[in-house]
Amino acid sequence: MPLKTVKKDAADYLTLEWVLHVKNYKLTLDKTRCVGCQICSLACPKEAIKTQKQPKTQGEKAKRAKVDIDLAKCNFCGICDVTCPYGAIKVALNGSNDLPLLAKETYPQICRDIKVDTRQCDKECTECETACPLSLITVTRTGYDGKPVENLQALTPSQKKRVQINLNIQKEYCPTCRVCEFKCSPGAIKVKKAIEGITTINQEKCPEGCTDCLDVCPITGALVLGEDKKVHVNQLFCDYCGACKNVCPVDEALTVKRTSIHHTPVHSGTWNKALERLTSTADAAKELKIQADQNRRKAVAKRFVLEEKIK
Amino acid sequence: MSTPETQKPEEIRVGVFVCHCGLNIAGTVDVHAVADYAKTIPNVVFVKENRYTCADPGQEEIRKAIKEQKLNRVVVAACSPRMHEPTFRRTVAEAGLNSFLYEMANIREFASWCHQNNPVEATERAKDAVRMAVAKVRLMQPLQTIEVPVTNKALIIGGGIAGMNAALDLADQGFKVYMLENTQSIGGHMAALDKTFPTLDCSICIEGPKMVDCARHPNITIFASSELVKVDGYIGNFKVKIRKNPRYVIPEKCTGCGECKDVCPIEYPNEWDMNLGTRKAISVPFDQTVPLIYSINKDYCIECFKCTEVCGERQAIDFNQKPEEVDIDVGAIIVSTGFDVYEPYDMPLLGYGKYPNVITSMEFERLILAAGPTGGKVIRQSDGKKPHSVAFIQCVGSRDKNKYPYCSNFCCMYTLKHVVQLKEKYKEDVEVYVFYMDIRSPGKGYEEFYDRARERGVNFIRGRVSRIDEDPVTHNLTVHSEDSLLGQPIEIEADMVVLATAAIPKKGSADIARILNLSRDANGFFMEAHPKLKPMDAPTDGVFYAGACAGLKDIPFSVSQGSGAASRAATVISKPTWKIEPIISVIDEAKCKSCGVCVDKCPYGAIRLEKPKPAQIITASCHGCGTCVAECPQHAITQMHFTDAQIMAQIRSALEDKPEEKILAILCNWCSYAGADLAGISRFEYPASVRAIRVMCSGRVNREFILEALRLGAGMVLVGACHLPFDCHYISGNYKMKARTDALKNMLTKLGMSPERFRVEYVSAAEGIHYAEVIKEIDAHMKALGKEKIQAENAKLKPILENMLKRKQQ
């Protein structure tokens, strides 16, 4: 019996399914979260994911590239799920998101290093909540009695002092753009970018008046329209996802170069290859070298311990 | 070898033996008239009628006559040479005559059986057949059989239960056996079954030890995940090329511990489990896999190398493995490729693939198996719950004129097994219905098993299911059928429907048939050399069948055929040498101009040419098709036993009388002659105007044969060949013939011949009815053209043809 497979392409989501008698594999792409970036198509070990540039209608904003997944090639490994900076793809086995990929340490988790120290927060400030370009942050306040505070103004100053601020960040969807960090005036949030790199725009080749990259960029402030009618990059906020690169009409006008990715330690060929595709051969080699050096150091240390014991 | 010219002239004394074959021949053909007529043929010195020539007394008559009458040529007018030629060759040899000084006139399949309602013309045809045989036998020369050494090893293609039995039997007799299996494990379908009928013993428990025996046997080498690429050579001396597909695990180093499987993060649907469950990207298809070597499926592997890491110092994993080709020499080949199961996607009324709770029997087998993906629980796909009513539907695809017309042999019995298992497992908790056409239970203990099912309270409903509907909410199914015993339409609601689908020829049978030069019947199963008397012999010498590949069989039959095929193969490989027929080509070195045409045309590469020396035939490689003979522009090549002179004599003899009313048919031995035989065996009537000449291959048909026939005024000419592209017994003889005859037909049409008078037809050995239809058609054409028109055309053609033939003979 050939495998029963299902592919549904709705307005808001794309689902792929393997329907087995006792098991069910399901991949869901949330189109409302997908920004049409390069990450999943580069990370996929089976080359099952393709991004397609959407045709642009005159006078309208450029559309984000469309992500399509080939059902015949997909093996539901979940690498796209783990790697997607925006958490737009979810892979489930019998409805559970526990991926064997992570359990068996074949693929690292991408580190979204966000540290929040709410003690430094201004009690009335909701700067981060409004600043987050993806609306992932909600600020809640808990009063001295442990109850959520509805109206801050109604409290007495001493009560106000004892109010605790809670920052709820939906980390799994966060691309670590650092916008909140910079907008936070007391400096309560510290964000480390998951992906490091550099995005450059060759101003000579960038066509004047074209704002396609700006239109699709999911991070407010990562790309800015300069006075010269050309787009400039703000490296501070850019998450190096490459959504802009996917729509740029001119070759070589815009380059997105990823140099490193912060991840949990892992020893896996799949990751090495994904890293090479996501960054570059040289950058992947650098990471491998660091890993090898660490291993060597460990081995040497182990040996010296042994020799000491023999003495 | 000497050519006819250099032989000392001797007095030709022909003895003709006319067989009655009981009433098989004598019932239609006036055998006395044939015998009387035979006496009038020049060189015939002795004529004898026998009731059964092939029986001992009949054979004794021949031996006696040879000695007493000093016969030096023998003609037996009896059945097809495909039937008894070897018998009578032995007979004449026993009398001290060279066994190639005998010819058969086929007056049973080609006269009495196919013209039963026309005894007068059948007798005429029989007389002509005898005359043609005498004409040929007169020119025959003694030939010596060629002995070739035999490799005493065997190859078994397909490691199912039949193949394993054949392998074990041969290996126990001391022969080296190679087993070729294209999946990862031997065991075949039987390894996937839960229980076997009618004893309900566990399938893998009885097969598993045999599988292990095969792997452990010092005389057996198993090539799993491998495929057959090429087979060269002939009986006793096959040269086989096998491709070992990469499994990315080194067989010698893999211990089968399974640690790699545990760390592998990727799962994919297990085809061996009918895709009901999953397996890891590095895994074995099932626990009892033999040989126990893990494989990586690169289609799903994401190359994390966790398996390499855990395999550690064993170093059994090699991601750079490439396909590897292995050459082996064997003396005999047993084909036991088995069958496939039909998936009824193209029967939309049954809803398979559309409704989740409609499954096939093979899937049910995996569900009820304790080691299966559900742990032996029969559950529905839609909600994972146990069904409370199950309907079994028989003959899905089989016994269906629109799909597979044949009965699939074992479906009735396995359905009975399923219902008994289900009833014994869930007792009153499950209601079982079986929709059947007929329950076929011919076997030891089978009918009793049927009784057992009925005693368990299973509802048997005789009727064919018209359609199945599904309730979209509950996913319950409604089966619409007719109860033909009550003569009323019936509707049954069931939680689950199990389809007993047809068993069909194995995918890839066509490739195997092409590689080994086998023919397949109308349904796609391999054809036996003789359906009754040689059920395990392939038409190619040295190749044998076992199991379902040559027609569906259940397990006990497949096992016995495996042993039977082993014994047949042992008759070849137990001998130090094997005699092959000397019907090979011989080059007249004086005539050869070293042009190299024969080298290009030989399908076997059996001709060597080192210019400027004359071309040379490699005797052992020559298969005797005669294509080179027909192609040689210098007429320097002769095919022994089928020389130009002999065939020309037959043509002339066939067209001696009223040629414009005759159809001259030149048929290739393996397909069209066999098809014509089948027309006779099946008693398909066709006009008696046809006169058939047998050649080994249509590639042997010279242009001159056709020109000569038309020169003599033949009404119609037919060349019968094997189907294009792959059916030719000699690889490509039919293509060579086609190129030749296409050009010839063009030329003849331009010269003023009606195009329908020369025809090439492709008839397989299974197409008796097609042969009869073709002859009917040609005869109708001939009648439509009319004698006068044919004669007029011939008068116009004759001088041109005479000229052409004369030029050729210079």
Residue A311: pLDDT band by 50, 70, 90 thresholds? Answer: low
Average pLDDT over residues B445-450: 95
Architecture of domain A113-192: 2-Layer Sandwich (3.30)
Complex ipTM value: 0.88
pLDDT: is B46 or A152 the higher one? B46
Residue B5 scores a pLDDT above 70: no
Contact (CB<8Å) B302/A100: no
| CA pair distance B339, B66, nearest whole angstrom | 50
> Bridge partners of B436?
B462
pLDDT: is B618 or B78 the higher one? B78
User: Which of the 8 DSSP states describes residue B161?
Assistant: H
What is the per-residue DSSP string for B50-74? Answer: ES-TTSHHHHHHHHHHHHHTT-SEE
- Sheet containing B459-462, strands listed edge to edge, beginning at the edge strand earlier in sequence: B358-360, B496-501, B389-396, B431-436, B459-462
Burial of residue B503 (CB within 10 Å: 0-12, 13-18, 19+) is: buried
For chain B, what percent of residues have pLDDT higher than 90? 80
Average pLDDT over residues B389-400: 95
Contacts of A101 in chain B (CB under 8 A): 265-266
H or E element at residue A128: helix A127-131
Q: What is the tens place of the pLDDT at every residue in B407-425?
A: 999 999 999 999 999 999 9
| CA pair distance B267, B302, nearest whole angstrom | 11
Q: Does B478 contact chain A (CB < 8 Å)?
A: no
Tell me if A44 sits within 8 A of B393, measured CB to CB.
no
Cα–Cα distance list, B96 to A183, B46, B91, B446, B704 (Å):
114, 18, 9, 53, 36
Which two tokens mark B416?
């009975």
Sequence-distant (≥ 6) Cβ neighbours of residue B781 within 8 angstroms: B716, B756, B757
Residue B355: pLDDT band by 50, 70, 90 thresholds? Answer: very high
Quick one: pLDDT at residue B4? 47
Residue A122 scores a pLDDT above 90: no
> Bridge partners of A148?
A142
Match 């949990």 to its residue by tokens.
A264
Tell me if B165 sits within 8 A of B156, measured CB to CB.
no
Tell me if B561 sits within 8 A of B547, measured CB to CB.
yes
| CA pair distance B729, B515, nearest whole angstrom | 10
Query: Smallest CA–CA separation between B321 and chain A, in Å?
Result: 17
Residue B782 scores a pLDDT above 60: yes
φ, ψ of residue B754 to 5 degrees: the values are: -65, 130
Average pLDDT over residues B706-729: 89
Quick one: pLDDT at residue B146? 84
Residue B1: pLDDT band by 50, 70, 90 thresholds? Answer: very low
For chain A, what percent of residues have pLDDT higher than 70? 98
Cα–Cα distance list, B435 to B121, B353, B402, B670, B713 (Å):
51, 20, 19, 43, 62
Average pLDDT over residues B718-725: 90
Tell me if B176 sits within 8 A of B222, measured CB to CB.
no
Residue B528 scores a pLDDT above 60: yes
Residue B2: pLDDT band by 50, 70, 90 thresholds? Answer: very low
pLDDT: is B623 or A33 the higher one? A33
Question: At CB < 8 A and 24+ separation, what contacts does B424-428 make?
Answer: B424/B456, B425/B368, B425/B378, B426/B378, B426/B386
Q: Which of B505, B601, B690, B535 is nearest to B111 (CA)?
A: B690
Per the prediction, chain B carries an average pLDDT of 92
Omega within 30 of 0 (cis) for the link into B198: yes
Do strands B690-695 and B663-668 pair parallel, antiparallel, or not at all (unpaired)?
parallel
- What one-letter code names the amino acid at B292? L
Quick one: pLDDT at residue B580? 80
Interface of A with B in 173-202 (CB under 8 A): none
Contact (CB<8Å) A101/B300: no
Q: What is the tens place of the pLDDT at every residue in B483-520?
A: 999 999 999 999 999 999 999 999 999 999 888 878 88
Residue A301 scores a pLDDT above 90: no
Residue A1 scores a pLDDT above 60: no
Interface of B with A in 328-387 (CB under 8 A): 343, 353, 356, 359-360, 362-363, 367, 373-374, 379, 381, 384
- Nearest by CB to B374, from A22, A107, A270: name it: A22
Within its chain, how far is the Cα of B419 from the centroid? 36
- Nearest by CB to A75, from B300, B360, B374: name it: B300
Omega within 30 of 0 (cis) for the link into B142: no
Residue B3: pLDDT band by 50, 70, 90 thresholds? Answer: very low
Query: Smallest CA–CA separation between B134 and chain A, in Å?
Result: 60
Options 3.40.50.720, 3.30.70.3280, 3.30.70.20, 2.60.120.560; CATH of A4-103: 3.30.70.20
CA angle, corner A11, sides to A6 and A14, nearest 5? Answer: 35
Nearest-Cα residue of chain A relative to residue B374:
A22
| Helix-strand-coil split of chain B, %, nearest 5 | 35, 25, 40
Residue A305 scores a pLDDT above 80: no
Do strands B146-149 and B577-580 pair parallel, antiparallel, or not at all (unpaired)?
antiparallel
Instruction: Specify the pTM.
Output: 0.80
Match 């130009």 to its residue by tokens.
B644
Do strands B324-330 and A189-192 pair parallel, antiparallel, or not at all (unpaired)?
unpaired
Q: Terminus-to-terminus CA distance in chain A, angstroms? A: 67
Q: How many helices (H) and strands (E) does chain B have?
A: 21, 38
Contacts of A268 in chain B (CB under 8 A): 304-306
Average pLDDT over residues A161-187: 90
| Cβ count within 10 A of residue B377 | 15
Nearest-Cα residue of chain A relative to residue B300:
A75
Which two tokens mark A81?
């799920």
pLDDT: is B126 or B3 the higher one? B126
Contacts of B304 in chain A (CB under 8 A): 106-107, 268-271
Quick one: pLDDT at residue B808? 64
In a 13 Å sphere around the CA of A252, the CA atoms on its Cβ side amount to: 2
Contact (CB<8Å) B276/A4: no
Residue A123: pLDDT band by 50, 70, 90 thresholds? Answer: confident
Average pLDDT over residues B669-673: 92
Residue B42 scores a pLDDT above 60: yes
Q: What is the tens place of the pLDDT at every residue in A30-47?
A: 999 999 999 999 999 999
Q: Does A95 contact chain B (CB < 8 Å)?
A: no
Which two tokens mark B70?
């000093």
Q: Which of B280, B304, B361, B386 to substitute to test the interface with A, most A CBs within 10 Å? A: B304
Tell me if B621 sits within 8 A of B674, measured CB to CB.
no
Contact (CB<8Å) A20/B264: no
Tell me if B580 sits within 8 A of B567, measured CB to CB.
no
| CA pair distance B293, B85, nearest whole angstrom | 50
What is the per-residue DSSP string for B66-117? Answer: HHHTT-SEEEEEES-HHHHHHHHHHHHHHTTS-TTSEEEEE-IIIIITT-TT
Quick one: pLDDT at residue B212? 95
Contacts of A271 in chain B (CB under 8 A): 304
Q: Which of B681, B761, B603 is nearest to B82 (CA)?
A: B681
CA angle, corner B630, sides to B624 and B632, nearest 5? Answer: 105
Omega within 30 of 0 (cis) for the link into A45: no
Quick one: pLDDT at residue B773? 94
Nearest-Cα residue of chain B relative to residue A75:
B300
Quick one: pLDDT at residue B621? 74
B241 φ/ψ sector (left φ>0, alpha ψ -120 to 50, else beta)? beta
φ, ψ of residue B785 to 5 degrees: the values are: -65, -40
Q: Terminus-to-terminus CA distance in chain B, angstroms? A: 24
- Nearest by CB to B269, from A18, A99, A273: name it: A18
Residues for chain B: how many in total?
Answer: 810
Options 3.30.565.10, 3.30.70.20, 3.40.50.150, 1.10.580.10; CATH of A195-268: 3.30.70.20
Q: Which of B732, B719, B703, B494 is nearest to B602 (CA)?
A: B732
Contacts of A100 in chain B (CB under 8 A): 265-267
Q: Does A101 contact chain B (CB < 8 Å)?
A: yes
- Nearest by CB to B303, from A1, A20, A270: name it: A270
Match 């097969």 to its residue by tokens.
B207
Average pLDDT over residues A75-86: 94
Per the prediction, chain A carries an average pLDDT of 89
Residue B744: pLDDT band by 50, 70, 90 thresholds? Answer: very high
SS3 B155: strand
